[in-house]
Structures are given as structure tokens and as C-alpha cells.
Homo-oligomer: A and B are copies of this chain.
């Protein structure tokens, strides 16, 4: 049996699955304090006999296995979770291999193995929700360097009609500061899910997302781009993104993916809701082998 945790800023999703990556049981636990949340996590996993556990962590997180703080959240606006060591907390009762990566790297892995990027060798997974995070997989490997990517905070140029100052605590008007769900809600003073009928909202949102995609394409040249997260429930965003991206590229990159095959290139998740959980199962199983 395999275990998986998608440790997010809003909720922890915990699951157990069989060796063929089928979900057997799954639970959602709200992210409150480390003590309370981790207690519920323990209750869940103690019901089962798992052989390995994969964990996707909301970032920034320490995912370097050689580091003393491996398995820790590092800087986060959630003060109680700052420098909290999830690995030690899990090790207290789980005597199995435990592997960490970022939630989005693991979601990219899940999509690469079981979802919308099974037919290609590289992909990126972008979540546009409470924050904006990006994970990347290239030939079955998640992208790492000094640490994991933090592409949600790239620079974008401001839309001329946008007067919202931005909401990133570090950069004010980086991508996340301008295009996350909370940024949309502050700009328009309304819940994002209630803004569906206002095209200008999605015009500005699509303009920012397209700029970020252009940057990721120029930098990583991924073979598929998967857009997930709460904000992407607004499916009318996709054509807006395509339009701006095509205009920005201006036929510089001459791939069909950026011309008439864009709808097959920039897509929503193939296993929506399970990208990270299945990626975590996969990572756990690889660790066993």
C-alpha cells in the first residue's frame, strides 16, 4: 500500500492507494495549526499499513534530502508553519521511506505519468489558486537546482487598465501578486467565482498568465503546459490566454504548439484533483524500488 499527502496552505489531502496507484481511501484536513492538522494526519495513516509515503509540500520548502531541514516548510506567510518539520512529525509513527517534493512538482509528475502529459517527455504544471506555483518534469525527473523552482513570482508587465497595486508580500506586483485568486478578489472587490460574467476580469487575468507562460516556454521549452487551481475553473480564460500568448510570441518561436495546436499544448489537468496525490503515490513507489 502507498501513502500520499498533498500538504497545501488551505488543506492537507491524505490518501492511501494500491500498488497500481488506485486510490483506496482519501481524506481532506483543513490546514490550521501544525499540531491540530498533523494529529488528524496521524489518525488517518494509523488505520493503514503503508509501505512508503510521498509528500507534496506547499512551498517554499526544503526538499534537499542532504539538508538538515529536509521536509520543512521554510518561509511562508503562515507564521505557525514557518520552519515546521513535517518529516520529523511523520517519522514519529511511520517507519517507512518518506519522500518530499513541492506540491506542484509532484502534480507535474502525476500529470506526466497518469494525466495530460503522458504522451510527451516534459511538462510544467501551474496552479493558479490562493498562490501561484509551478512544477516541472523533464524525462521523468522533477526540476531541481539550488532548490525547487519558484516560478509563480516572475515579473510581468502591468496591464494598462489595471490599477491594483498587487498583493505579493515580497514583490508586490509579481505574477502571484497580480494574478492569484486573492489578487483578483482584491482588485474587483468580489469573490473570483462570482466574476464569471465580467470579461474584463478575465482579459486582464489572461494577459498576466500568458506573459508568464511565454517566460516559461522561453526558459524551459516544456512539451505540455497544464493549468490547474481554483481560478482555472473559469474555462473561458483559456482562449484569452491563447490570444495573448500568440500575440506576444509574434511568430518568434515557430513550433506548431504556439500556432494552430495551442489548444492541445496548454490544457487543464488530465486527472484533475488527483494530480498531486497520484504523483505522490508514484514517487513513493519509485522510492520502494
Contacts and interface: CB of A to CB of B under 8 A. Distances in A.
A84 B128 CA distance: 42
Interface in A47-94: 60, 74-75
Given A146-B223, A248-B171, A155 B75 contact: no
A188 to B, nearest CB: 24
Nearest to A255: B146
A254 interface: yes
A77 to B, nearest CB: 11
Residues of A in contact with B, size category: 35 or more
Interface of A: 60, 74-75, 122, 138, 143-151, 153-157, 170-171, 211, 214-223, 248-255, 257
A153 B257 contact: no
Could you say how many copies of this chain the assembly holds?
Answer: 2
Contact of A218 (B154, B221, B251): B154
B170 A250 contact: yes
Contact of A157 (B75, B157, B222): B157
Given A138-B145, A155-B156, A214-B155, A221 B251 contact: no
A222 B155 contact: no
Contacts of A145: 122, 138, 220-223
A156 B250 CA distance: 17
A31 B226 CA distance: 41
A211 B171 CA distance: 12
B218 A151 contact: yes
B254 A74 contact: yes
